[in-house]
A = this chain, B = another copy of it.
Amino acid sequence: MRVLGVDPGLTRCGVGVVEGVPGRTLTMLGVGVVRTPADAELGDRLVAIERGIEQWLDEHDPEFVTVERVFSQHNVRTVMGTAQASAVAMLCAARRGIPVTLHTPSEVKAAVTGSGRADKAQVGAMVTRLLRLDAPPKPADAADALALAICHIWRAPAQNRLQQAVALHASKGRTA
């Protein structure tokens, strides 16, 4: 399973590609950041993010794209930009027919560290260990993108079982 994780942001969009299956060693295929200048027009920044994400999709041809779910508890300005950047990432994937999943920051932290309240350093340390890297990827957005991809790979079996159960339940409902 090859997964592109995207930690969305207007200024820095973390991107990371991980390949693997649950219970086996994971491999990092690429990590980076799509940046846009803070003084550019919003529309032009979204175009730059689209171009960046398209390049990552072209190069790595992932089977899944997973994006951090955005909440609006935080700073208003930042959240709007994050929601807009995430929309572009989801659009690029869906346009190619690649399934998109969303994971909350606490789901991601819990998946890679065992605690939903782990800090950035702990996430970075676990990503480094799980992918057998020499050092934590910098900036943190890049490490978070890899953590998202790992979270997707590890949670996929549970999600598939859930979907199968829902489908089974629905088909029973129809025949009942």
**Which A residues fall within an 8 A CB radius of B?**
41-44, 46-47, 50, 70-72, 76, 79-80, 83-88, 90-91, 93-95, 99-100, 102
**What copy number does this chain have within its complex?**
2
Which residues of chain B come closer than 8 Å to A94, judged between CB atoms?
Answer: 41, 43-44, 46-47
Ranked 6 nearest A-B pairs via Cβ: A43-B94, A84-B87, A83-B83, A87-B87, A43-B100, A43-B90
Look across to chain B and name the residue whose beta carbon is closest to the beta carbon of A73: B76
Complex formed: what's the CA distance from A79 to B72 in Å?
8
CB-defined contacts of A50 to chain B, threshold 8 Å: 91, 95
User: Please, which residue of chain B has its CB at the minimum distance from the CB of A91?
Assistant: B46
CB distance from A93 to the nearest CB of B (A): 6
